[in-house]
Amino acid sequence: MDFKKFGIVIAMLGLLTAGYGGVQLAMNLPVEVTQSDRGGVGGFFQRVGNELDAAFENSSRQHRRGSAKKVVLAGGIIVFLGLGIMASAKDGSRPAQS
């Protein structure tokens, strides 16, 4: 395998890694608090419960988004490494001998 093909393989692995991180990032966006239609004391406790559920869920999703951002960053670095390998690869043709 020559270096140009090796660079293509590395760049594709980087794209796959960045794509995986992007999907993980999109799946862990913050959730909104659901509003309760009930009134009175029962509605108050339901609203407080919904807010707490959303806060705990958003806390865990924030941690997962941070990890996903690191995966996207690593994928981008791998893509640039692959492109650098492809750019530095020599053509395989030899100059004409005279």
The mean pLDDT of the chain is: 86
What is the pLDDT, as a whole number, of residue 97? 66
Portion of the chain with pLDDT greater than 70, in percent: 85
62: confidence class by pLDDT, cuts 50, 70, 90: very high
Q: What whole-number distance in Å separates Cα of residue 29 and Cα of residue 58?
A: 8
Residue-range domain boundaries for the chain: 3-88
pTM listed for this prediction: 0.74
Q: What is the 3-state secondary structure (H, E, C) of 21-65?
A: HHHHHHHCCCCCCCCCCCCHHHHHHHHHHHHHHHHHHHHHHHHHH
User: With 80 as the cut, is the pLDDT of residue 92 above it?
Assistant: no
Give the pLDDT confidence of 9-54 residue by residue, as tens digits: 999 999 999 999 999 999 998 888 777 676 676 777 888 888 888 8
